[in-house]
Homo-oligomer: A and B are copies of this chain.
Amino acid sequence: MAKKKIRVGLIGHQFMGVAHSNAYRNAGMWYDLPVEIEMKCVCAKDTPERLEAFAHRYGWQETEADWKKLVSRDDIDLISVATPGFLHKEMVIEAAKNNKHILCEKPLANNYADACDMLKAVEGKSLVHACGFSYRFTPATALAKKLIADGKLGTIYHVHARYAQDWMVDPKAAMVWRLQKELAGSGSLGDICSHSIDMSRFMTGAEITSLVANCKTLVKQRPLSADDPDGPQGEVTVDDVAQVLCEYDNGATGCFEATRFAGGRKNHNCIEINGSLGSIYWDFEEQNYLEFCDRTLPVELQGFTKINATWDGHPYGGGPWPQGHGIGYADCFVLEVAHLVTAIAKGESFSPSFADGVTCQRVLEAVQESSEQKKWISLL
């Protein structure tokens, strides 16, 4: 008997648009899903030829130039929003009006108020909403969450996270939309620190109650064109580095740094969590491994154990391959989509939802406020 179909419409065809396309294309190949994914239509701002080429390449059946038409089509069940942050709100609210299930990329919005509006728009409707914190969907991070939930770390003492990249380190690198506040909302903060903040919430289940932060623009002017590094310059209006100290509602403290100026760090998204009974450490640059220190072992055998979290018994079964073969960046999105369409099929809610996106956004906004006002901000 044929499975029920879930018909997807995607908005956006850049980096995240590609990641989503791959996920929809392959989720049903890697995982036994209760539904069949139909890649119905992609919409993006481009020439018809290029959009057609994209659709053909990634497997979308149709193209649509106007996202408003897309989100109101009757033959679409799920809208995937993979556009820059400033566009999220309108698209999501419109999709919600049309009762579409929605996967929206992170950060949910460019500010907290917008994020709240978006959450309000989906609440009370029988639709599933998801915020794209994709790093939750690796076997190693899911294992960390499970160990903590199982009490293996005991009382949580502190969280230490750093997300470091280096693609902006060259002062002559050209201006991009991610460096403009009106388009991106913030810089390293929304782009990557948001992942760390969500990861700490995901793993510990604890919420940030107050924080103090320092956001800084390290290179204030950049060439508008990569081809003319000494030509006209534009102003960078977002943070290049974001540093945060915080308190959690479980009594733990946290320390975060996000930067795109750490030469040699390509996608160094790492987190360490220490508790009374043990510790975990994860670094995306070795994404298939979780390091776990179990303080209940005999003392002489204690240390960080490097667990290749790709065994069948690990969360997500370690991905589609035998243990040790490992998954890559794209596979997090595949797992995310597999879980999302399953939730939709089963009529269950999905985590991370818009509520998670809102909570994260509130933290991001407090970070900006704290940095501007040079003071601690309470989130209570």
A positions within 8 Å CB-CB of B: 15, 18, 21-22, 25-26, 28-29, 57-59, 143, 155, 157-158, 160, 162, 164-167, 169-171, 212-214, 216, 218, 240-241, 243-245, 247, 251, 253, 255, 257, 259, 261-268, 272, 274-279, 285-287, 289, 292-295, 297, 299-311, 313-314, 319-331, 374-376
Sample of 29 A–B contacts (CB below 8 Å): A15-B322, A25-B25, A25-B29, A26-B26, A28-B57, A158-B257, A167-B322, A169-B276, A170-B276, A171-B276, A212-B212, A241-B253, A255-B257, A261-B274, A263-B274, A263-B276, A264-B293, A264-B302, A266-B323, A266-B324, A285-B326, A292-B301, A299-B311, A303-B307, A306-B306, A325-B328, A327-B330, A328-B328, A328-B331
**Contact: B295 with A263, CB < 8 Å?**
yes
Q: Are B157 and A241 in contact (CB under 8 A)?
A: yes
Q: Are A267 and B303 CB-contacts (below 8 A) given A22-B26, A274-B261?
A: no
Which residue on chain B has the smallest CB distance to residue A246?
Answer: B214
Contact of A305 among B213, B302, B320, B325 (CB under 8 A): B302
**Is there an interface contact between B300 and A245, defined as CB atoms closer than 8 Å?**
no
Known: A292-B301, A300-B311. 5 other contacts (CB 8 A): A164-B274, A266-B325, A302-B307, A306-B306, A328-B328
User: Is the CB–CB distance between B265 and A279 below 8 Å?
Assistant: yes
A38 to chain B, nearest CB (A): 14
A28 to B57, CA, bound (A): 7
Contact A266 B374 (CB under 8 A): no
